[in-house]
C-alpha cells in the first residue's frame, strides 16, 4: 500500500512538471520568475504542497501554480529583503513572527491596531506579509503557521478588507499548506459583518480554521508563555527593530546543569566574555570522553572503556533522514524524538558530519534554554569527522512540540585554534553570511520509546524500534494528515 502511494505521488508530481512546462511555461515564460520554474522541477515537496491543496487534481494544481507564479514575479518575492520594506513599517511592529502555538506551529502576528487603511502604503504592507512568509517558508519548508489576528484596541480606521483578502489569498494560493489556523482575538462587534465576508473568501472547507477567541479561551490554542500580557499571558517579549525578530534561540544549559562548581570557573569566565553566551564551554577532554560514550558510528567501543553495552545498542541504526548542508550533514533532518512515558532520563542524539576540508565550528541554541542540557553545545568538528551531540530535558521538565533547536556552523581557517577562547573570538568575528543554520523541531512519542539513548547503571538501553523505523512511521503519518486541505 505504501509503495503504491509513493509511486502514485511520484507519477502525479511528474505529470504536473511535464504539463506545466508544456502548457504554461511555453506560452507564458515571461510571466514567471525562472528561479520558480527551476525550483518546480527540482523540489518534490513544493509540487506536492500544491497537489495536496488541490486534492491531487492535476488540472486544478496547474491553474493554482500559474496564479501563484505570476504573483511571485509581480511581487518580486525571490528578491524581497529587509531593504525592500520601508523602515518605519518594520519599526511599528504590526506584522512579525514570534512564539509557537500548542501544536508547535510558529505564530504569525498581525496587530491590526497598527494598520491604518491607506492606498499609498498598501503595497508595502503586502510586501511585508510576503517577506515574512517567504522567509519562513525557506527555513521551515512546509511547517504551517498559526495566524494571530490581534484585534484588541482596533477602531473603524483599521478595517481594510483588501488587505485581509490579500492575507487569505496568501494561504489559499501562494503558500498552500502553510495555514494551521487563524486565531481571531477580541473582535469588536462592529466587525461581525466584515468577517462574514472573510468566511466566504476562505470557502466552506477552511472556515473551520477560523478560531474566534477572547481572553477567556485564547489559551486553548496558545499557552500563556507565548501570549502577551493583554491576552492574559506571561510572555515578556516586546517588539523592537532593528534587528528583525527571529526565533529567539538562546544557549541551552550545559550537560551538568547551570554553572556552579569551582572546577567550572574557567569555562564560566570564557562564556562571560562572549556577551550573551551563558553556556559552559566544555573541555576537550570532556568532549573526547563524551564521544567515546555515545559514538554509535563505530561497530564496537574501545576496550579501555570497560563499560557493558546493551546488546540492542549494537544493532542501533541512525535515521535515514539527513539534512545535507554545505558544511555539515545533520541527522536527524527535521525532528528530535523524546519519550513521554518512560521514567528514565532520555538523551536524544544529533549527529553532525563535517563535509568540508577545513575544521567547522558549531554551536547549538534552543528556544527553551532553561529546559534542556546539551553537550557539546559549542565546539568544532574536524574534516570528515562526525560529532554526536547529546540533548536531554533538564530535571523533570517536559519536552514540548513548541521547542526548537538551532544548529549554527561556520568554516574555520586552517590556522585557527579550537579551544574555548578561540571559539569565543571566532563567533564574535565570523560574518553572518558565512554561517550555516539549520533548525530542528521536538516531537514527543507516546507509548513507544523514541530515537534516544537511556543512561542507566552505566549501560545503554535502546528501544526495540530503530530510529529509522520511528522516523518513517511518524513522517508517514504526518504527511497523510497534512494532505487533507482545509
CATH number, position 375: 2.60.40.10
Higher pLDDT, residue 253 or 134: 134
SS3 374: strand
Tell me the mean pLDDT in the region 11-39: 91
Same domain for 181 and 118?
yes
Tell me the mean pLDDT in the region 287-312: 41
Higher pLDDT, residue 455 or 231: 231
Among 189-198, 257-266, 315-324, 397-406, the range with the most confident prediction by mean pLDDT is 397-406
Same domain for 114 and 59?
no
Same domain for 355 and 428?
yes
What pLDDT was estimated at residue 160?
A: 84
CA angle 454, 460, 463 (to 5 degrees): 65
CA angle 125, 131, 134 (to 5 degrees): 140
Contacts 24+ apart (CB under 8 A), 297-302: 297/351, 297/386
pLDDT reading at 293 higher than 50: no
Place of cell 528556544: 367
Residue 414, all three cell numbers: 586552517
Q: Is 341 inside any structural domain?
A: yes
Residue 281: other Cβ atoms inside 10 A: 26
Residue 46: other Cβ atoms inside 10 A: 19
Exposure string over 249-260, b if 16+ CB within 10 A, otherwise e: bbbbbbbeeebe
- Distances 331 to 17, 49, 324, 452, 479 between C-alpha atoms, Å: 30, 24, 9, 13, 19
Tell me the mean pLDDT in the region 125-143: 88
Q: For residue 436, which of 405, 403, 406 has the smallest C-alpha distance?
A: 406
Q: Is 478 inside any structural domain?
A: no
Residues 63, 46: Cα–Cα separation, whole Å? 15
Confidence of residue 343 (pLDDT cuts 50, 70, 90): very low
Average of per-residue pLDDT values in the chain: 77
Please state, for a pLDDT cut of 90, what percent of the chain lies above it. Answer: 35
pLDDT reading at 278 higher than 70: no
Same domain for 50 and 120?
no
Q: Write out the residue range of the structural domain in which residue 61 sits.
A: 1-77
Tell me the mean pLDDT in the region 195-214: 79
SS3 9: helix
Q: Is 350 inside any structural domain?
A: yes
Residue 443, all three cell numbers: 516531537
What pLDDT was estimated at residue 358?
A: 92
Q: Are 368 and 393 in contact (CB under 8 A)?
A: no
What pLDDT was estimated at residue 209?
A: 85
Residues 112, 131: Cα–Cα separation, whole Å? 18
Q: Is 457 inside any structural domain?
A: no
Residue 436, all three cell numbers: 550555516
Is the backbone peptide bond immediately before 243 cis, with ω within 30 degrees of 0?
yes
Same domain for 338 and 365?
yes
How many domains, the chain?
Answer: 3
Confidence of residue 146 (pLDDT cuts 50, 70, 90): very high
Place of cell 542501533: 316
Q: With both helix axes pointing from N to C terminus, report the angle between 161-169 and 122-140 in degrees, rounded to the nearest 10.
A: 20
Q: Is 458 inside any structural domain?
A: no
Where a domain ends, among 186, 206, 231? Answer: 231
What pLDDT was estimated at residue 309?
A: 34
Tell me the mean pLDDT in the region 114-143: 89
- Domain containing residue 147: CATH number: 3.40.525.10
Confidence of residue 248 (pLDDT cuts 50, 70, 90): low
Q: Is 472 inside any structural domain?
A: no
Least trusted range by pLDDT, from 103-107, 165-169, 313-317, 424-428: 313-317
86-97 pLDDT, tens digit per residue, is 999 999 999 999
Place of cell 522516523: 471
Least trusted range by pLDDT, from 184-188, 210-214, 447-451, 459-463: 459-463
What pLDDT was estimated at residue 191?
A: 75
Q: What is the DSSP string of 168-227?
A: HHIIIIISTT-EEEEEEES--GGGHHHHHHHHHHH-TTTGGGEEEE-TTTGGGTS-GGGS
What pLDDT was estimated at residue 296?
A: 41
Where a domain ends, among 211, 231, 251? Answer: 231
Same domain for 101 and 18?
no
Please state, for a pLDDT cut of 70, what percent of the chain lies above it. Answer: 73
Same domain for 36 and 147?
no
Where a domain ends, among 213, 231, 249? Answer: 231
Same domain for 190 and 92?
yes
Torsion sign (Cα): 197, 201, 205, 210: negative
Residue 349: other Cβ atoms inside 10 A: 21
What pLDDT was estimated at residue 399?
A: 82
Tell me the mean pLDDT in the region 51-58: 90
Confidence of residue 356 (pLDDT cuts 50, 70, 90): very high
SS3 269: helix
H or E segment and range at residue 438 = strand 436-445
Place of cell 508517514: 476
User: Beta strand 210-213 with 436-445: parallel, antiparallel or unpaired?
Assistant: unpaired
Torsion sign (Cα): 272, 276, 278, 280: negative
- Distances 11 to 36, 40, 47, 321, 346 between C-alpha atoms, Å: 21, 15, 12, 23, 41
Same domain for 72 and 7?
yes
CA angle 6, 178, 195 (to 5 degrees): 135
Q: Is 27 inside any structural domain?
A: yes
Residues 127, 135: Cα–Cα separation, whole Å? 12
Confidence of residue 155 (pLDDT cuts 50, 70, 90): confident
Q: Is 306 inside any structural domain?
A: no
67-123 pLDDT, tens digit per residue, is 999 999 999 999 999 999 999 999 999 999 988 888 888 899 999 999 888 889 999
What pLDDT was estimated at residue 84?
A: 93
Same domain for 84 and 197?
yes
H or E segment and range at residue 469 = helix 467-482
Instruction: Phi first, then psi: give them for residue 331, nearest 5 degrees.
Output: -130, 130
Same domain for 350 and 210?
no
Same domain for 136 and 60?
no
Q: Are 473 and 447 in contact (CB under 8 A)?
A: no
> How many residues comprise the chain?
486
Residue 200: other Cβ atoms inside 10 A: 10
Amino acid at each position: 500500500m505504501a509503495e503504491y502511494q509513493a509511486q502514485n505521488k511520484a507519477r502525479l508530481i511528474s505529470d504536473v512538471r511535464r504539463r506545466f512546462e508544456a502548457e504554461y511555461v511555453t506560452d507564458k515564460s515571461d510571466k514567471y520568475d525562472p528561479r520558480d520554474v527551476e525550483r518546480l522541477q527540482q523540489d518534490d515537496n513544493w509540487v506536492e504542497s500544491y497537489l495536496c491543496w488541490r486534492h491531487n487534481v492535476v488540472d486544478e494544481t496547474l491553474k493554482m501554480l500559474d496564479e501563484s507564479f505570476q504573483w511571485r514575479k509581480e511581487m518580486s518575492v525571490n528578491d524581497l529583503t529587509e531593504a525592500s520594506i520601508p523602515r518605519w513599517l518594520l519599526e511599528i511592529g504590526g506584522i512579525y513572527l514570534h512564539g509557537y502555538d500548542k501544536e508547535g506551529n510558529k505564530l504569525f502576528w498581525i496587530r491590526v491596531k497598527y494598520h491604518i487603511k491607506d492606498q499609498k502604503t498598501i503595497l508595502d504592507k503586502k510586501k511585508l506579509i510576503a517577506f515574512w512568509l517567504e522567509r519562513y517558508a525557506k527555513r521551515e519548508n512546509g511547517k504551517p503557521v498559526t495566524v494571530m489576528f490581534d484585534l484588541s484596541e482596533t477602531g473603524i480606521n483599521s478595517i481594510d478588507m483588501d488587505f485581509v483578502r490579500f492575507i487569505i489569498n496568501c494561504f489559499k494560493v501562494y503558500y498552500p499548506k502553510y495555514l494551521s489556523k487563524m486565531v481571531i482575538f477580541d473582535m469588536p462587534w462592529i466587525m461581525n459583518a466584515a468577517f462574514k465576508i472573510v468566511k466566504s473568501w476562505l470557502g466552506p472547507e477552511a472556515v473551520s480554521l477560523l478560531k474566534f477567541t477572547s481572553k477567556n479561551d485564547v489559551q486553548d490554542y496558545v499557552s500563556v508563555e507565548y501570549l502577551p500580557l493583554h491576552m492574559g499571558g506571561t510572555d515578556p517579549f516586546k517588539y523592537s527593530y532593528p534587528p528583525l525578530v527571529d526565533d529567539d534561540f538562546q544557549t541551552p544549559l550545559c550537560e551538568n546543569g547551570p554553572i556552579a562548581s569551582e572546577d567550572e570557573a574557567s569555562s564560566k569566565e570564557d562564556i562571560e566574555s562572549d556577551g550573551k553566551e551563558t553556556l559552559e564551554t566544555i573541555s576537550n577532554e570532556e568532549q573526547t570522553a563524551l564521544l567515546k560514550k555515545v559514538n554509535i558510528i563505530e561497530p564496537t567501543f574501545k576496550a579501555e572503556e570497560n563499560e557493558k553495552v546493551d546488546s540492542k545498542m549494537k544493532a542501533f541504526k541512525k535515521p535515514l533522514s539527513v539534512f545535507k548542508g554545505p558544511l555539515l550533514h545533520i541527522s536527524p533532518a527535521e525532528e528530535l524524538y523524546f519519550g513521554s512515558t518512560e521514567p528514565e532520563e532520555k538523551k536524544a542524539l544529533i549527529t553532525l558530519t563535517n563535509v568540508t576540508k577545513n575544521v567547522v565550528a558549531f554551536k547549538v541554541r534552543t528556544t527553551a534554554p532553561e529546559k534542556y542540557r546539551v553537550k557539546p553545545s559549542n565546539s568544532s568538528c574536524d574534516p570528515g569527522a562526525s560529532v554526536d551531540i547529546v540533548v536531554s530535558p533538564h530535571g523533570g521538565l517536559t519536552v514540548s512540540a513548541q521547542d526548537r533547536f538551532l544548529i549554527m556552523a561556520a568554516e574555520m581557517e586552517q590556522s585557527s585554534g579550537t579551544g574555548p577562547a578561540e571559539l569565543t573570538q571566532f563567533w564574535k568575528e565570523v560574518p553572518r553570511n558565512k554561517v550555516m543554520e539549520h533548525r530542528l523541531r521536538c516531537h514527543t512519542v507516546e507509548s513507544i520509546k523514541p530515537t534516544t539513548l537511556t543512561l542507566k547503571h552505566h549501560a545503554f538501553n535502546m528501544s526495540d524500534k530503530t530510529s529509522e523505523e520511528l522516523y518513517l512511521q511518524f513522517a508517514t503519518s504526518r504527511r497523510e494528515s497534512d494532505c487533507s486541505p482545509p
